[in-house]
Amino acid sequence: MFLGPYRFGRGAAAAPPEAEPGSPAQAPASGPETSDQNVADGPRVALALGGGAARGLAHIGVLRVLERHGIRPSVIAGTSIGAAVGGLWAAGSLDAFEAWARRLTRRSMLSLIDPALGAAGLMNGRRLLDRLRAEVGSVTIEDLPIAFSAIATELGTGHEIWLTRGNLADAIHASYSLPGIFTPVKVGGRWLMDGALVNPIPVSSARALGGRIVIAVNLNAEVFGRGTVIQDHGGPIVSTAEALAKKKEGIARMWRPDRILRGGFLPGPVDGPKAISAVMIDAFNVMQDRIARARLAGDPPDVNVAPKLGKIGLFDFHRADEAIAAGAEATERVMEDIVTAIEALR
């Protein structure tokens, strides 16, 4: 499998062995352009689909609205869930995936969990991979009718990897392997994990693959707002004795019969983070948000789609209807900007 350009922080990209620096082989198109795309053969429209786990179901709504307006992207670069939804659409399998996602419940989600005891993650992710294979089979990225890349991060080096050739399901699997949750995936001799660690909204890859108009979908725009620096934590320093007393009071409350019946004793302290997984996910959210801001500032898209997903958690896959609707609504809001950008380059 070809592993696209490796990016080292803000430095230049290093070419793979089979390509000279700056040659087209660094970011090859994965397939021919379709004849009915981009509104009467307009400029190549590219989608940069960001990461965000369950919030990424909003990408389905984005694609559906573009289709209704006669806009078919000829380039898709996706990170994590963005790679999954974008890859499924490119392979012609999004209808079945959308129907399955809309049927998901909290209970049915449990069937997708495959614990990885003693491994480098809580889950192997094999059941999700099996679901992907059921939809796309053995399709390769080269088989797709559009240019496609799945963004991943190399474990140990932090290199940004663009997966532009090889098995589509394997590329998607590597791109969504969230550290600590899923075990890393070995592709082309490298151990890979979630691409959101280096490029949460892959505008750069979408442009490199030939996109003249890049539409970016930011799933986390509403999660943190603008962000700021707080110089004063806003409260008095609590003494050790006071903190201990509050902790004992919290433990007593946790073991009340009514809380036990509701499962309230499981997550953790009443007035603190609910579980180690919740802390880890929140930290990942913060990191992804800050990296996305920096990357978008240096390489802004032509149009930005920002679905309102602040109330949907990373693992709220059972809320597919809400996420899809939010993606559709956000795309309709900027449709005039999209059409204007296309018309300007005709």
Instruction: Give CA–CA dist 1/169, Å, rounded.
Output: 12
Biggest CA pair distance of the chain: 72
> In which element (H, E) is residue 245 found?
helix 240-254
Tokens representing 285 are 């959210």
User: Computed from CA positions of residues 184, 154, 1, 91, in that sequence, does the dihedral angle turn out positive or negative?
Assistant: positive
Map residue 62 onto helix, strand or coil. helix
Residues 74, 80, 177, 205: which is the catalytic one? Answer: 80
Q: Which residue from 223, 225, 303 is spatially nearest to 54, judged by alpha carbons? A: 223
Q: Within 10 A of 235 (CB to CB), how many other CB atoms are there?
A: 6
Instruction: Give CA–CA dist 112/123, Å, rounded.
Output: 9
Q: Within 10 A of 57 (CB to CB), how many other CB atoms are there?
A: 32
Instruction: Give CA–CA dist 183/181, Å, rounded.
Output: 7
Start-end of H helices in 111-152: 126-136
Active site residue 80: yes
User: Computed from CA positions of residues 188, 288, 130, 216, in that sequence, does the dihedral angle turn out positive or negative?
Assistant: negative
Active site residue 194: yes
Burial of 278 (0-12, 13-18, 19+ CB in 10 A): middle
Backbone angles phi, psi at 40, to 5 degrees: 55, 50
Instruction: Give CA–CA dist 341/301, Å, rounded.
Output: 11
Q: Token match 């909204």: residue?
A: 201
Residues 74, 93, 177, 194: which is the catalytic one? Answer: 194
Q: Token match 């009467």: residue?
A: 40
Return the bridge partners of 152, or none: 161, 194
Instruction: Give CA–CA dist 71/338, Å, rounded.
Output: 9
User: Where in the sequence numbering do the catalytic residues fall?
Assistant: 80, 194
